[in-house]
Amino acid sequence: MPPVVNVHTHYQPASVLSIVEPYGIEMTTRDGAWYFRSGDVEYSVPGTPDRFWGHGLHEQIPFMDENGIDVHVLQPSPMVFSYHLEAAVNNEFSRAFNDETARHIAEHPDRFWGSAQLPMQDLDLAAAELERAVGELGLRSCSLGYVIGQGRTLADPECAGFLATAERLDVPILLHPVALGQDLDLEAAGGGWLMKHQIDWAWGYLFTESVAVIGLIFSGALDRHPNLRVMIPHGGGMIPYQVGRLAYHAEVYGRGDRFAGERLERAPTEYFSQMYFDTVVHEPASLKLLIDVIGEDNVVLGSNYPGWDNAPIWETIRALPGVSDEAKEKVLGRNAAERLFRTTGA
């Protein structure tokens, strides 16, 4: 049997935060919740913080055993991707983060897979650190935002060298947006209303994920990098529900800037073969829609453990009506092990 793999979990070695604290970045716990600060932007996010820190990693294992989960994929928090800092600072932070991740995983190598933090504001440094994290430390993926600083996105042509490195190393990109308030000066743009009710991160993530899918397709990035594998969290934002609009967008605009522009090489849904969509959707009907639209080969178990919206989606998958046992096995772990990470062992 393939392992049951939760591809969307988060973790932070507290020991490395001192590197970025002088630059206005803070992550701690207050009143049983995570507190994040990036400059003037602050967030308080409920969750189970003790299991989030590196020193509490072992506390995840009883939870995993109780719920039949074999592997957690440890992703850095997007709150501290730090793409706005000087590249040298983030490179130091990323290297320290990845070293600590490898050290913690070494204590439980059969239960955790690591995902590299990278200084994406300098693509050469990011590619070099990805090489080191995979080749020397044994991490199995990298975790990135879609907007990587100064208005640049992962789909832009200047990212070709970095994406080629991920292809050559045969590791997936685990995409995760940052909060809109970190990517944009919302107050200056008259968008302060997006900060109300936790919208800029809890719902802003879904907006940016939808943009990422559209951008990766319409930019030609997936044509230029046919072996690239990208995981899109939170069920792909609005994409599964609006797949018809995506097809119509391609019919009208293609990949050009005007109606007579260059056409996509494939139908938009054919690009989904390079994307994997996780199951942080909560509602069984939404999960069924995700599997129906994306296909049972490209949906992977994810729950955002131990975050605010972590829910027993594995139970929903196992009990989901109208889905075969084989498809459930794929979603629970086979797709992650054999297709996304291309490994059959935990």
DSSP symbol at 149: S
258 φ, ψ (degrees, to nearest 5): -130, 180
pLDDT at 256 over 60: no
pLDDT at 102 over 50: yes
Residue 109 or 42, more confident? 109
Give the domains, in start order, of the chain with CATH numbers: 5-11+58-340 (3.20.20.140)
- Of the listed ranges 88-102, 163-177, 262-276, the least confidently predicted one is 262-276
- The candidate with the shortest Cα–Cα distance to 205, out of 233, 244, 228, 230, is 233
Residue 296 or 39, more confident? 296
Confidence of residue 258 (pLDDT cuts 50, 70, 90): very low
pLDDT at 186 over 80: no
Rounded Cα distance between 45 and 61, Å, is 23
The predicted structure's pLDDT at residue 344: 64
| Cα four-point dihedral sign 259, 264, 268, 272 | negative
What is the mean predicted confidence (pLDDT) over 184-207? Answer: 84
Is residue 24 within 8 Å of 89, Cβ to Cβ?
A: no
98 φ, ψ (degrees, to nearest 5): -70, -35
What is the mean predicted confidence (pLDDT) over 186-204? Answer: 83
Strand order through the sheet with 299-300:
5-10, 71-75, 112-116, 141-144, 173-175, 230-232, 275-278, 299-300
Confidence of residue 255 (pLDDT cuts 50, 70, 90): low
Confidence of residue 179 (pLDDT cuts 50, 70, 90): confident
pLDDT at 216 over 50: yes
Tokens of 189: 């743009």
The predicted structure's pLDDT at residue 257: 53
The predicted structure's pLDDT at residue 262: 58
Strands 33-38 and 41-46: antiparallel
Is residue 4 within 8 Å of 346, Cβ to Cβ?
A: no
For residue range 326-337, list pLDDT tens digits in order: 999 999 999 999
The predicted structure's pLDDT at residue 13: 94
pLDDT at 113 over 90: yes
Tokens of 38: 């990036």
pLDDT at 260 over 50: no
Give the rounded percent of residues in the chain with a pLDDT score beyond 90.
Answer: 74
Confidence of residue 259 (pLDDT cuts 50, 70, 90): very low
The predicted structure's pLDDT at residue 331: 98
- The candidate with the shortest Cα–Cα distance to 182, out of 15, 16, 17, 25, is 25
DSSP symbol at 179: P
pLDDT at 241 over 80: yes
Neighbour tally for 214: CB within 10 Å: 19
Tokens of 205: 């993530």
Summary mean pLDDT of the chain: 92
Residue 283 or 45, more confident? 283
